Amino acid sequence: MRPYAVTHGRARPVAGRFDLISLIKTTQQSHDQLHGLAPEHLSILTLCRRVMSVAEVSACLDLPLGTVRVLLGDLVVHRLIEVREPAPRPITHDNRTLEDVLNGLRAL
């Protein structure tokens, strides 16, 4: 089974929470930082040069969410990605974001 092989049997990430819409961005990295990473880690780093959600990473790499979270946790520890967690409370209290969403949808 690929997913467990990728994470060496780990079910939980060593760091981070990783909501479906937590946004991931690859940070600047030096070559030696990449030493010892699995190909899947490197795929994530390539993918997330453009900001991407956890769900999109999972879909694009065709890996289950749990596996992706474990890999992302490794990358956080190595400071190879930046993570933006979504607001913990609903944005219903955030009028500016609501208006922005509304205007954006109307402009579609």
Partner 1 sequence: MGSERSDDPGHRMPTAVKILVAGGFGVGKTTLVGSVSETRVLTTEEDLSERGIGVDDTSGVGGKSTTTVMMDFGRITISEDLTLYLFGTPGQNRFAFLWDELALGALGAVVLADTRRLADCFPSLDYFENRGTPFVVAVNCFDGARQYTIEQVRQALDLDPGTPVLLCDARDRGSSKRILIALVEHVRTLAAPTSAVVPAATAISA
Residues of the shown chain interacting with partner 1 in the complex, contacts defined by CB under 8 A: 1, 3-4, 9, 11, 19-23, 25, 51, 53, 55-56, 58-60, 64-67, 82, 84, 86-95, 97-102, 104-106, 108
Nearest-approach distance from CB 57 to partner 1, in angstroms: 9
Q: Are 16 and 74 in contact (CB under 8 A)?
A: no
Name the token pair of 75.
Answer: 């990358």
> Considering only CA atoms, which of 39, 41, 30 is closest in space to residue 76?
41
Angle at 97 between CA 99 and CA 17, to 5 degrees: 155
Q: Is 9 left (phi over 0), alpha (psi -120 to 50) or beta?
A: left
- The smaller minimum CB distance to partner 1, of residues 31 and 105, is found at 105
Nearest-approach distance from CB 50 to partner 1, in angstroms: 11
Nearest-approach distance from CB 66 to partner 1, in angstroms: 4
Nearest-approach distance from CB 44 to partner 1, in angstroms: 14
- The smaller minimum CB distance to partner 1, of residues 35 and 89, is found at 89
- The smaller minimum CB distance to partner 1, of residues 41 and 68, is found at 68
Provide φ and ψ at 78, rounded to 5°: -85, 5
